[in-house]
């Protein structure tokens, strides 16, 4: 959890993040991320507008301390604090939320908030607050990660940071970036790709019987077709997201000698 708080917190987030932060009113959340100047994804997160002058970044994979320090370099004379909130804890359940719905969260920063992280038949609730005390469950955490992948939210390990544009990760499905708001790092690349219709690669979901490797090639015969970017255990098997050409042959594909079975991503979310 990274908190942006202060008079200029939202303006700072608007200038740095790839989605339209100012379009999210207090009480709402959105998928978002931070890009390199070349339009490659450094980190993905859920941005929660907890107050008029504050936002929380729920960062599932990137190192929060390192990301906070990187963001701090761009604060300059703006009036805000960038803080890693180690006092807050997260707990997830595979049940529908009590009060939250869609992109509207419930609760408040002092007592805790509840977010609807489900969709399309997949029920999930995420709660964040100062007094959450739930046991660690590795199997449930793997299932949660697999659910992220099925919904098309890539869980990027460090090896996959700064490798892919938002379009290559099909983040338009999650409405996670904007091509119309003002400047932000990588905005020129993202907008040019969008308006020139040059999106040639996107995400594909696969199931596989053994653990795939993030960064491994996806091959047709001996010819590399794409690359695996995100993996998760799913019961007795595994699921993986790979970046592949949008137009490709309808033939079996493999990774490290293992056949990958293509599956449909759950329909895009309306965050």
pLDDT tens digits, residue range 166-177? 999 999 999 999
Measured CA to CA in angstroms, residue 141 lies from 4, 121, 164, 244 at distances of 27, 19, 25, 27
Can you tell me the mean pLDDT for 113-121? 91
Confidence of residue 127 (pLDDT cuts 50, 70, 90): very high
Q: CA-to-CA distance for 213 and 256, rounded, in angstroms?
A: 8
242-252 pLDDT per residue, tens: 999 998 888 89
The pLDDT value recorded for residue 197 is 81
Q: CA-to-CA distance for 42 and 84, rounded, in angstroms?
A: 17
Flag whether pLDDT at 134 surpasses 80.
no
Q: Which two tokens stand for residue 170?
A: 């099909």
The pLDDT value recorded for residue 271 is 46
Lowest mean pLDDT among 24-28, 36-40, 132-136: 132-136
Q: Which two tokens stand for residue 93?
A: 């359940």
Overall pTM surpassing 0.85 (yes/no): yes
Contact between residue 78 and residue 12 where contact means Cβ atoms under 8 Å apart: yes
The pLDDT value recorded for residue 51 is 97
The pLDDT value recorded for residue 267 is 61
Report the chain's mean pLDDT, rounded to a whole number.
Answer: 93
1-13 pLDDT per residue, tens: 999 999 999 999 9
């Amino acid at each position: 959890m990274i908190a942006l708080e202060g008079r200029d917190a939202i303006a700072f987030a608007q200038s740095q993040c790839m989605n339209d932060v100012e379009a999210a009113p207090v009480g709402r959340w959105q998928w978002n991320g931070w890009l390199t100047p070349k339009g490659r994804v450094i980190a993905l997160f859920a941005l929660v507008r907890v107050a008029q002058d504050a936002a929380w970044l729920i960062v599932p994979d990137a190192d929060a301390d390192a990301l906070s320090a990187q963001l701090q370099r761009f604060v300059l004379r703006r009036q805000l604090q960038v803080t890693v909130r180690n006092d807050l804890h997260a707990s997830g359940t595979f049940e529908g939320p009590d009060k939250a719905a869609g992109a509207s969260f419930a609760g408040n920063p002092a007592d805790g908030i509840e977010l609807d992280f489900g969709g399309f038949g997949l029920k999930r609730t995420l709660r964040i607050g100062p007094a959450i005390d739930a046991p660690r469950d590795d199997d449930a955490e793997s299932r949660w990660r697999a659910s992220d992948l099925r919904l098309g939210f890539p869980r990027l390990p460090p090896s996959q940071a700064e490798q892919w544009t938002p379009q290559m990760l099909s983040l338009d499905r999650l409405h996670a970036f904007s091509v119309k708001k003002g400047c932000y790092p990588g905005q020129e690349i993202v907008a040019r790709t969008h308006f020139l219709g040059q999106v040639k690669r996107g995400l594909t979901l696969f199931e596989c019987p053994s653990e795939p490797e993030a960064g491994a090639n996806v091959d047709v015969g001996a010819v590399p077709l794409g690359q695996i970017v995100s993996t998760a255990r799913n019961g007795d098997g595994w699921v993986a997201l790979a970046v592949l050409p949008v137009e490709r042959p309808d033939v079996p594909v493999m990774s490290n000698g293992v056949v990958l079975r293509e599956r449909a991503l759950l329909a895009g979310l309306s965050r």
